[in-house]
Chain A
Amino acid sequence: MSNPYIVLPVIFQLFVAVTLMFSWTNKNLQKLISVVGSLIALLISISLLIKVNQEGIQTMQAGGWIAPFGITFVADTFSALLVLLTAISGLAVSVFSVGSIRNARVRFGYFPILHLLIMGLSGAFLTGDIFNLYVWFEIIIISSFVLITIGGEKAQLEGAIKYVAMNLLASVVFLTAIAILYGLTGSLNMADLSLQVAKVENRGLVNVTAILFLVGFGIKSAVFPLYFWLPASYHTPPPAISAIFGGLLTKVGVYAMLRVFTLIFVPDTFLTTVITVMAMLTIFSGGVGALMQNNIRKVFSYLIICHIGFMLAGLGIYSTLALAGAVFYLVHDIVVKTNLFMVSGLIFKIKGTYSMRLLGGFYKEQPLMSLLMAIPLFSLVGIPPLSGFWGKLLLIQGAMDSSNILLIGFILLGSFLTLFIIAKLWSEVFWKDPQILPKKEHIKYFDELKPLKKRAMLASVVFLSILSLGIGFGAEWVMRIAMTVAENLMDPSAYIQAVLGT
């Protein structure tokens, strides 16, 4: 169904960014605009998801140019769901930034860039054109380059160089793949490509292109063996920025993989085997990497990699159930990982360090806050009925159906490693006897902050914690959406029909 308003989540973020740029010098006004704007964006994306649920797939032809010639925007359940999650993370990070981002960073345009990043993410989820997807990826990485370097600390710049180098390489590979695909089919519209690629006789070249896409998206979503940039860079920027990076940036790569490998390239046995092996090694290397770390943010960075493996496993199994598991896990992961990086920021603000060895006695000092932090931590482990459990359950069921015992073993190993790591983190940070830590001069501690800032930081953690509890307890509802998404992914004919109208 044609609907000109589905780009509203994208346009609105640009509008917020422009408004923020007009109030460049007024810090408090910027914070207000950012929070209010994120709230309105959340409402817009909720209404989009409801509309898609009621009326089916919505499309829009930019500038009125008919598909497959113009750029199409498509909102199916998957896109609308991810736009909603982006808006949720965006709101949480925006509120958290009010409390935690230093004024020096605000003065260099932190808030406008944050909203441009969210605009890029929403655009990437909504577009139905593969070249346009590349453009949104560029917008995302350019905004994230600025965010990761803003403030200009030495560690930040070092992390940024690795991040920039690997992501630019990924863009090159991705663009090359698009060029080859365009040479093969003469089309860039994803729905049209789905029909055209099936007709190409040179299957060897199609498979090579598919592998190029896999490498390009693989670097972006940090899968084995292309993940090295992630733990080297995600712990360097301020916690609010690593929260949005950890929550959403790698997930765009996963989204693109799920989209491209169900719509354009229908994987054959060779491709699913490659993806499955990558998934297993990603789970393993992420989990083992997290074991070795002492810095909490590095632990979470490695856990991102480990859990990207779960989503990739869903694609590797390639059945409705497994894809639903991957989508469910994606929903859970975005909410929880955003929250965890904010939690680590909160711990840092209170104690002044990220090191597990030095931290301790958190539970004795802040019992209520510790209970709050327990929610995302144990959701991540996936203790039933918390949110991480259901996605894994679906994945294991899917793997059982395809009797892939080895993969089940790795998924269980990954869950076990996560449990072990979180238990270790809990006993080190929360239960161990506290050490006296010397007060550092350049850090503004939590106690010294204004009450409004304290509340802003806590409110965003509470908001996401309630949400992850909601995903866990309302699993049936989320699962129904995930199943719809998975069915649409497995049978893209509705998507193609909505775009091409034939």
Chain B
Amino acid sequence: MNRIALLFLGLFAALAASWTGVILVNQGSVGRLARVVDANEGLAFPQPMPGLAEQGHLVYQDLGCAACHTQQVRRPGFGIDDKRGWGDRHSVARDYILEPRVLIGSHRIGPDLRNVGQRKDGQEGRDGREWHYRHLYDPQLTSPGSVMPSFRFLFETRKIVGEPSPKAIQGLLPASSQPPAGYEIVPTVRAERLVSYLLSLKDSYAYPEAANVYVAKSETQGGAAAEGAKK
């Protein structure tokens, strides 16, 4: 084992080969995916995140939410993501092409959030925003027994000056969480951004590559998702 030139050349070749095979080749395929233009709807998908949601994406990133939550719905028959209602269909590569930081995650200590904006819609008024504020303020209010920590530092308890803020949330909280008289609890701008981001998470458009395993919502609820996927 004395051929040093062979060692260096071999290492370089192996590195270059894996780099080419794993990264460059895929960069030429999934790395170049473009948006799909739907002539019927006159829109291109995926659609860009609204500005506030894009800022919320940064809050999600800096708080390390991805340590507990994935953002990838596995296909029907591979786990039971569909039966948990985590998405109408499995995630595909095109879903992520506009995201500045793709946070698919690797642990499910909490639920998958890829379609959380869809799930909470209409559950508790005001397009689900109130549910998320309560959940972030104290997860035990919405999900008793949850191991998610509270994120009260995303809310501000402040003295009411003039008219109370229309954003105040103490009306959503139990008596034990009420602020002193003359004070109100309002979400900070970071909380507003984070909730906007969560509400924006919904992959509902059926891309051509997702069609063969697309599972309609009615089927999912009927428990026929796996069968539908196998067909």
Real binding pair: no
Binding site for B on A (CB under 8 A): none
